[in-house]
């Protein structure tokens, strides 16, 4: 086996193997059927929680399995490599919903929510995007008005992963004036009166629920505020950095899956008397796919190491997220091309990966917005 970056050690490889075994026994046999049904069973959260997999990257004192950023990314890479992105997104959405609570919430809130989520007993989501505010987070309109010991929330969110099933929602709200200085983060229980949720049908990730959420005079305890009032924007931005590294890891896993499937198929499928892989043009495509994946992996591993050393690497993470999306889209397109007609037929990984290949160039900060952010961070 090829050597890995020195951030990985024997323990991380054991965890990688553990995730692969979990996928082989708990996801692989059912994943295609779940895709067609449009959901996976809620008990999968508990199984992943029992195996300690939801806790990867989270502090042990709150029920996590430890391992920091490295295990956080490793979990996302390996679940993505299963080729079942809907399951990965559903299982791993706590990776964006929970960190703001652990970083900014009261101790009581952390103790109430984190162990239950990491055990797989409760589900959480992060709700930032709105019908009129996606890339431009500072223009969100959902309001939270202080009323005694509560906030009264009104507004709407959209495209929220796990939004239908979530027991807890980490929500960006406007508590002050316009712009980023009026934004706060608030935890809203999924069953609070006045919350209504509707599933959105989408191009892919069918097993992951994606919700439109409406808030109509929802009363939320003021103790559910994360950090200081009107200081939520910074927390959201810090959380985006973590999310984007996790997305990069997922992009690597998805690309690896498409590449492995395609290498296998190119050796089986024969045209003009020989295997596809014996045609030089096809070999070049496979090498280009592999080169992109190697480049992404090297960039991500180095960035994990730099963040572990205390660097913020905001520009670099934004560039990795945008570049990762481009590589993954190319890998998915070439994989589908090499599969030919079979790549257009439902029921296997390459068709699904191709169909879903745009999502991560949009979600979590679009490619254009990432490049804009990187250019500003680079000082020009
Ligand atoms: C499947 C899925 C799951 C999601 N899950 C979540 C979730 O769990 N929680 C959550 O809060 N959000 C979630 N999102 C929302 C996602 O983060 C947004 O879709 C994304 O931030 C883009 O916002 P938008 O869709 O409103 O596009 P817009 O902001 O309207 O942008 C539309 C297009 O214009 C481009 N654009 C915008 N501004 C500029 C500019 N200044 N310069 C150049 N181009 C620009 C964008 O790049 C994009 O291509 C999810 C989205 C999807 C599709």
Q: Is 137 in the pocket of ligand 1 (CB under 6 A)?
A: no
Alpha helices in 269-362 (DSSP H): 280-308, 314-339, 349-355, 359-362
The answer to whether the beta carbons of residues 365 and 129 sit under 8 Å apart is no
Q: Is 161 in the pocket of ligand 1 (CB under 6 A)?
A: yes
Residue 286 has pLDDT above 90, yes or no: yes
Q: Look up the CATH architecture of domain 124-230.
A: Beta Barrel (2.40)
* Average pLDDT rounded to a whole number, residues 191-205: 98
| Cα gap 134→159, rounded to integer Å | 9
Token reading at 26: 């708990």
Q: Tens digit of pLDDT for each residue in 249-271?
A: 999 999 999 999 999 999 999 99
Q: Look up the CATH superfamily of 234-377.
A: Butyryl-CoA Dehydrogenase, subunit A, domain 3 (1.20.140.10)
Residue 298 has pLDDT above 80, yes or no: yes
Q: In percent, how much of the chain has pLDDT > 70?
A: 100
Position 72 scores a pLDDT of 98
CA of residue 316 to ligand 1 center, whole Å: 20
CA of residue 276 to ligand 1 center, whole Å: 38
Token reading at 363: 């979600």
Token reading at 316: 């670099």
Residue by residue, DSSP assigns 59-90 as -GGGT--B-HHHHHHHHHHHHHTTT-HHHHHH
Is residue 359 packed enough to be buried (19+ CB in 10 Å), middle (13-18) or exposed (0-12)? buried
Beta bridge partners of 188: 169
* Average pLDDT rounded to a whole number, residues 91-96: 98
Q: How many angstroms separate the first and last alpha carbons of the chain?
A: 42
Is residue 73 packed enough to be buried (19+ CB in 10 Å), middle (13-18) or exposed (0-12)? buried
Residue 274 has pLDDT above 90, yes or no: yes
Q: Is 231 in the pocket of ligand 1 (CB under 6 A)?
A: no
DSSP H or E segment with residue 7: none
Distance (Å) of CA 72 to CA 57, 195, 271, 372: 4, 31, 42, 26
Q: Tens digit of pLDDT for each residue in 18-65?
A: 999 999 999 999 999 999 999 999 999 999 999 999 999 999 999 999
Q: Is 134 in the pocket of ligand 1 (CB under 6 A)?
A: yes
The answer to whether the beta carbons of residues 124 and 98 sit under 8 Å apart is yes
* Average pLDDT rounded to a whole number, residues 105-120: 98
Is 130 one of the annotated active-site residues of the chain? Answer: no
Catalytic residue among 243, 261, 316, 351: 243
Q: Which atom belonging to ligand 1 lies closest to the Cα atom of 97?
A: 8
Q: Tens digit of pLDDT for each residue in 8-19?
A: 999 999 999 999
Position 3 scores a pLDDT of 87
Q: Is 204 in the pocket of ligand 1 (CB under 6 A)?
A: no
Query: Smallest Cα–Cα separation from 367: which of 300, 316, 321?
Result: 321
The answer to whether the beta carbons of residues 343 and 354 sit under 8 Å apart is yes
DSSP H or E segment with residue 229: none
Residue 1 has pLDDT above 70, yes or no: no
Token reading at 253: 């896993």
The answer to whether the beta carbons of residues 104 and 227 sit under 8 Å apart is yes
Distance (Å) of CA 106 to CA 118, 226, 235, 251, 321: 18, 7, 14, 33, 31
Domain locations in the chain as residue ranges: 10-118, 124-230, 234-377
| Cα gap 142→155, rounded to integer Å | 4
Q: Tens digit of pLDDT for each residue in 308-327?
A: 999 999 999 999 999 999 99
Q: Is 127 in the pocket of ligand 1 (CB under 6 A)?
A: yes
Residue 198 three-state SS:
strand
Beta bridge partners of 169: 125, 188
Query: Smallest Cα–Cα separation from 323: which of 343, 349, 294?
Result: 294
Take atom 19 of ligand 1 and give the residue whose Cα is closest: 363
Q: Which atom belonging to ligand 1 lies closest to the Cα atom of 128?
A: 11
Position 346 scores a pLDDT of 94
Tell me what the pLDDT averaged over the chain comes to: 97
Q: Is 224 in the pocket of ligand 1 (CB under 6 A)?
A: no
Take atom 32 of ligand 1 and give the residue whose Cα is closest: 135
Position 2 scores a pLDDT of 80
The CATH class, in words, for 10-118 is mainly alpha
Residue 183 has pLDDT above 70, yes or no: yes
Q: Tens digit of pLDDT for each residue in 219-251?
A: 999 999 999 999 999 999 999 999 999 999 999
Q: Which atom belonging to ligand 1 lies closest to the Cα atom of 202?
A: 1
Q: Which of 97, 133, 134 for a ligand 1 pocket mutation test, highest count of atoms within 8 Å of Cβ?
A: 134
Distance (Å) of CA 353 to CA 240, 300, 348: 24, 21, 9
Query: Smallest Cα–Cα separation from 350: which of 247, 208, 204?
Result: 204
Q: Which atom belonging to ligand 1 lies closest to the Cα atom of 204?
A: 1
CA of residue 195 to ligand 1 center, whole Å: 23
Q: Is 210 in the pocket of ligand 1 (CB under 6 A)?
A: yes
Positions of E strands within the chain? 124-127, 143-147, 150-161, 168-174, 183-189, 195-199, 210-221, 225-226, 270-271, 274-275
Q: Which of 125, 201, 369 for a ligand 1 pocket mutation test, highest count of atoms within 8 Å of Cβ?
A: 369
Q: Is 146 in the pocket of ligand 1 (CB under 6 A)?
A: no
């Amino acid at each position: 086996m090829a050597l890995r970056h020195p951030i990985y050690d024997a323990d991380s490889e054991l965890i990688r193997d553990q995730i692969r075994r979990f996928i082989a026994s708990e996801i692989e046999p059912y994943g295609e059927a779940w895709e067609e049904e449009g959901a996976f069973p809620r008990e999968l959260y508990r199984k992943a929680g029992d195996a300690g997999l939801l806790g990867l990257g989270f502090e042990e004192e709150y029920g996590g399995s430890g391992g920091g950023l490295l295990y956080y990314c490793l979990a996302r890479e390996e679940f993505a490599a299963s080729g079942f992105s809907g399951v990965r997104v559903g299982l791993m959405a706590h990776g964006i919903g929970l960190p703001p609570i652990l970083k900014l919430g009261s101790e009581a809130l952390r103790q109430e929510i984190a162990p239950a989520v990491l055990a797989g007993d409760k589900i959480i989501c992060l709700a930032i995007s709105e019908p009129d505010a996606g890339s431009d987070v500072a223009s969100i309109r959902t309001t939270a008005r202080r009323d005694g010991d509560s906030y009264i929330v009104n507004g709407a969110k959209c495209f929220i992963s796990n939004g239908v099933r979530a027991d807890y929602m980490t929500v960006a709200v406007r508590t002050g004036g316009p712009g980023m200085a009026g934004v706060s983060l608030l935890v809203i229980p999924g069953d609070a009166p006045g919350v209504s949720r509707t599933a959105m049908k989408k191009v892919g990730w069918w097993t992951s629920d994606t919700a439109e959420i409406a808030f109509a005079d929802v009363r939320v305890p003021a103790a559910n505020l994360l950090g200081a009032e009107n200081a939520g924007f910074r927390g959201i931005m810090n959380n985006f950095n973590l999310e984007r590294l996790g997305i990069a890891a997922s992009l690597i896993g998805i690309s690896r899956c498409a590449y492995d499937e395609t290498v296998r198929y190119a050796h089986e499928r024969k045209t003009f008397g020989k295997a596809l892989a014996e045609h030089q043009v096809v070999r070049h495509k496979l090498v280009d796919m592999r080169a992109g994946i190697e480049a992404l992996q090297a960039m991500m591993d180095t960035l994990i190491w730099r963040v572990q050393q205390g660097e913020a690497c905001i520009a670099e993470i934004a560039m990795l997220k945008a570049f990762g999306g481009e590589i993954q889209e190319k890998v998915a397109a070439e994989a589908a091309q090499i599969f030919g007609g079979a790549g257009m037929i439902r029921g296997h990984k390459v068709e699904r990966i191709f169909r879903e290949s745009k999502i991560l160039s949009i979600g979590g900060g679009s490619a254009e917005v990432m490049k804009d952010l990187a250019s500003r961070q680079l000082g020009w």
